[in-house]
Amino acid sequence: MRLLQIVCALVLLKVKMVSVTTQPAIASTYTMEDAYDKNERPSELTDVSIGLYLNRISAVNENNEEISIDVFLQVIWEDKRIRHKNDTNTTAASYIELKIEERHEIWVPDLYIRQLREMKVLKLFEEISSLRLYKNSTVVFSLGATIIIKCDMDFLLYPLDVQICPVDFSSYKYSVKDMTFRWKKENPITFPKDFDEGFFRLPKYVVSFSTEQDPHIIYYGDVDHCSARLEITLSRELKSYLLEHYLPSTLFVSMSWGSFVVIPEVVPGRMVLLVTTLLTLVTMFNTVRNISPDALELKCIEVWLISCILFVFLALIEYFIVLFGIRYDKHWRTAKTITKAMANMSSNETHGMSMPNSVQRKNGLEQSARAFQNMNKVTPENKKKITNIPSNAPPIVNTTTNVHQVDGNAGSISSNPNTINRKRFRNAAEVAILYAGSQRGKLDQISLIIFPLCFLVFSIVYWALYITESKKRM
| pLDDT digit string, tens, across residues 41-50 | 888 889 999 9
pLDDT at res. 52: 93
Tell me what pLDDT residue 94 has: 80
- Whether CATH 1.20.58.390 fits 240-388+399-474: yes
Angle at 154 between CA 236 and CA 253, to 5 degrees: 60
Q: What is the pLDDT of residue 437?
A: 60
Q: What is the mean pLDDT of residues 353-380?
A: 44
Q: At what angle do helices 380-387 and 417-437 cross, to 10 degrees?
A: 130
d(CA 168, CA 147): 13
Residue 246 has pLDDT above 80, yes or no: yes
- pLDDT at position 279 is 96
All residues at 6 or more sequence positions from 425 whose CB lies less than 8 Å from its CB, including other chains: none
Q: What is the pLDDT of residue 198?
A: 66
Say how far apart CA 460 and CA 466 lie, in whole Å: 10
> In the chain, which segments carry CATH 2.70.170.10?
36-237
- The pTM assigned to this predicted structure is 0.68
Question: CB within 8 A of 416, min separation 6: which ones?
Answer: none
| Predicted confidence band of residue 139 (pLDDT cuts 50, 70, 90) | very high
Residue 334 CB neighbours (<10 A): 14
Q: Which pLDDT belongs to residue 310?
A: 97
pLDDT at 183: 93
| pLDDT given at position 90 | 52
**DSSP assignment of 332-355, as one string?**
IHHHHHHHHHHHHHHHHHHTT---
Residue 1: CB partners within 8 Å, gap ≥ 6? none
pLDDT in tens, 71-100: 999 999 999 888 877 655 554 568 888 887
Specify the CATH number of the domain 36-237.
2.70.170.10
pLDDT band per the 50, 70, 90 thresholds, residue 112? very high
Tell me where in the chain the CATH 1.20.58.390 domain(s) lie: 240-388+399-474
Query: Per-residue pLDDT tens for 253-281?
Result: 999 999 998 888 888 889 999 999 999 99
